Structure 1
Amino acid sequence: MLGTGTWEQRKLGNIASKVNEKNRNSEYRTVLTNSATKGIIRQTDYFDRKIAQNVENYYIVRDQYFIYNPRISVSAPYGPIRINRLGITGVMSPLYVVFSVNNIDNVFLEYFFKTSFWYKFMYENGDSGARADRFAIKDNTFFSMPITIPETKEQARIGKVLDRVDNLIAANEYNLKNALSI
């Protein structure tokens, strides 16, 4: 049964660590991007061509790492925060904030960042910066973001339920799309 435990408020920095590992010697070549609508995706799949040339100073993004993209869009007014679920290690521009989490269920946190619950914190603690298409927030401020979480087992159960619902919706959309094209 969901909702039986107590929830506590923690700072993102207490459950996550910023990743500063650079792609020295260009060991990794797969450049990733963080799309508000498609999540983490290969840059070549998103733009239909290779954009990045020199990736030596890019951050290494391992499977299950989170990425914050400060690019503002209609569907992500403070930029999207998504998880690398591709099952590969790639690299991302230093314009992004890459972080890994400890002692929290990744899927639960992924769905938290798909909500708007964290927008108020961003609104109150950052600004749109010099560029109108980017949201500016200092790293130490970003990692002070409060996140309310249940105990670990309940996080996993909630994440699993939300994943199943998403998969069911995707399957129904696919079936409907195919039925309409007949």
Structure 2
Amino acid sequence: MTASMPEYWSHSTVGDACAIRNDLRLPISREERSGMEGDYPYYGPTGVLDSIDGYRLDGTYALIGEDGDHFLDVENKPQTILVTGKFNVNNHAHVIQTTERCSAEWFYNYFKHRSLKPYLTRQGAGRYKLNKAALQSIPIVLPPAAEQAAINRLFREWSSAIGITENLIAAKERHYSHELSRTISRGHHPRSHVGSFAHVVSERNHGGNAARVLSVTNSRGFVLPEDQFVRRVASADLSNYKVVRRGQYAYNPSRINVGSIARLDGWDDGVLSPMYVVFGVDESKINSDYFLHWLDSHEACERIRKSAQGSVRETVSFTEFAGLAIPLPDVAKQAAIALYLNALRDEIATLGNYLEALKTQKRGLMQKLLTGQWRVKLPKSKEKSHG
């Protein structure tokens, strides 16, 4: 036993401690399922694939994949699923049933973010596989049943807090979208074209290779390529790259139709691949925050998408972008709308930071509690039962 593990906890293996009920799996092809529509979930190794008209399992079970690439991303993708109720499982996930030594929920929590790479096999370029024999050999640490239950209950409470926060963020996002549409798109404002206030910026990075290379994503705005890709993808010669400065905008003409347009706020400057369009705005004519909110609107997304459809490669040149119509009240009205919408976005950002803190704290808590380094307080009667 490790020094930090309580003396009445035990080391075991999945094969000795758990019941692997792969006999309850129900392999059904997609074609067959198309004629079996119903209310009972049909699970694969990473989630629900379908719903069918019958069920084979009824109760609480843990599922862990038999194959799949999710094994390689343990930081972001759960390795296990906990299912309660009436459902089905295909033949690509192992089914774990509660025993006297190990509850299905303990198994789910114990392996949820645990790397299983040493137990995986792979043939050629095929998918990674966790066969039953390998699963049976994996070590697992087991507290007594009462302590398992207490720890599981604590994790459920944290998961509930995370779920409530996620739902609150989703509600705030819906409210923001509604207010964005109400205040801008449906605000009965006079309209003008983007070109009435926006202009192309063509500054090149002549004479320097030590510049900060950036790219634009549809979910995170400007990012460093090494944060988006495994390796840096920039050319060794950056002299022809376009310079972008704080407050300016940029987009990839072939990706703007999926939302890859952003304003540089996180750095003073950077350089972008020559394929990007960089532009600035005249803030005597438009409030930059107002424009940024409009770009986030359903109206703007639809106008950009339709503009892209007219191109053979679905690209949007700056000329086409500048021709888009935008609701444009006077600058004072724009500023008032932007101030209100900024407050809504700030609230969502605060909740997002809180959510990430909750998730980080839960992960740290799991690491401590699942190894016995930290303990949960049990009722006196349960403590005595440990002997």
Q: What is the distance in 2 between the residues matched to 1:42 and 1:128?
A: 31
Instruction: Please provide the CA RMSD for this pair.
Output: 2.6
* Selected match of 2:265 from 77, 80, 85: 85
**Pairwise mapping of residues 44-123 of structure 1 onto structure 2 (< 5 A)?**
44-47=226-229, 49-52=231-234, 53-72=236-255, 77-102=257-282, 103-123=285-305
Give the secondary structure class of the aligned counterpart of 1:172. Answer: helix
Q: What is the distance in 2 between the residues matched to 1:77 and 1:141?
A: 12
Quick check: 1:70–1:79 contact (8 Å CA) kept in 2?
A: no
* Unpaired runs of at least 5, structure 1: none
Quick check: 2:217–2:261 contact (8 Å CA) kept in 1?
A: no
| Residues 57 and 83 of structure 1, relative CA distance in 2, 3 Å threshold | same
Quick check: 1:35–1:41 contact (8 Å CA) kept in 2?
A: yes
Quick check: 1:69–1:79 contact (8 Å CA) kept in 2?
A: no
| Residues 27 and 164 of structure 1, relative CA distance in 2, 3 Å threshold | farther
Q: What is the distance in 1 between the residues matched to 2:209 and 2:328?
A: 36
The reply on whether 1:30 has 2:212 as its aligned counterpart is: yes
Q: What is the distance in 2 between the residues matched to 1:151 and 1:101?
A: 15
Quick check: 1:70–1:78 contact (8 Å CA) kept in 2?
A: no
* Selected match of 1:150 from 329, 332, 353: 329
| Residues 27 and 163 of structure 1, relative CA distance in 2, 3 Å threshold | farther
The reply on whether 1:174 has 2:353 as its aligned counterpart is: yes
* Selected match of 1:40 from 198, 219, 222: 222
The reply on whether 1:11 has 2:190 as its aligned counterpart is: no
Q: What is the deviation of 1:48? A: 5.0
Q: What is the deviation of 1:23? A: 0.9
1:172 corresponds to which letter in structure 2? L
Give the secondary structure class of the aligned counterpart of 1:125. Answer: helix
| Residues 15 and 94 of structure 1, relative CA distance in 2, 3 Å threshold | same
Query: When the two structures are superposed, what TM-score results if normalisation uses the length of structure 1?
Result: 0.82
Residue 316 of structure 2 corresponds to 137
Residues 102-144 of structure 1, C-alpha deviation per residue, up to 9 Å, x if partnerless?
Answer: 021111111111122123333443338565xxx3133322211
Residues 35-59 of structure 1, C-alpha deviation per residue, up to 9 Å, x if partnerless?
Answer: 1000112223332542212211111
**Greater helix fraction, Structure 1 or Structure 2:** 2
* Unpaired runs of at least 5, structure 2: 1-181, 366-387
Q: Percent identity?
A: 25
Q: What is the deviation of 1:22? A: 0.9
